[in-house]
Amino acid sequence: MMIQEKGKLNASSIITWTILIFVLIFTIAPLLFTLTSSFMTRTQILRMPYSWIPETFNVDNYIKAIKEMMDSGCLHVIFLTLLL
């Protein structure tokens, strides 16, 4: 096995970095989509072309989710789980 000189790229390291960047993009993109769309209204999400940055940050989705969790008792279970 040859020792690679610092600062020099060979074919295997270029292929490795290309694969890593490809995997990173396909891992981060869905998470970014989920995060940005959580602040959008339905019409903003379905609009084409898709805008990754919301025109206005809408927190109504989070308020609605918390209210539904409080009504179902789920928030109490989460609180107890965090205590333990």
Domain that holds residue 64: 11-83
Task: Give the whole-angstrom CA distance, residue 63 versus residue 51.
Answer: 23
Q: Is residue 5 part of a domain?
A: no
Domain count across the chain: 1
Q: Is residue 1 part of a domain?
A: no
pTM (two decimals) = 0.60
Query: Given a cut of 70, is residue 7 above it in pLDDT?
Result: no
Provide φ and ψ at 59, rounded to 5°.
Answer: -95, 5
Please write the tens of the pLDDT for every residue from 12-69: 888 999 999 999 999 999 999 999 999 998 888 888 898 888 888 889 988 988 888 7
Task: Give the whole-angstrom CA distance, residue 31 versus residue 67.
Answer: 24
Output the CA–CA distances (angstroms, integers) from residue 23 to 12, 20, 28, in the order listed: 17, 5, 9
Q: Is residue 2 part of a domain?
A: no
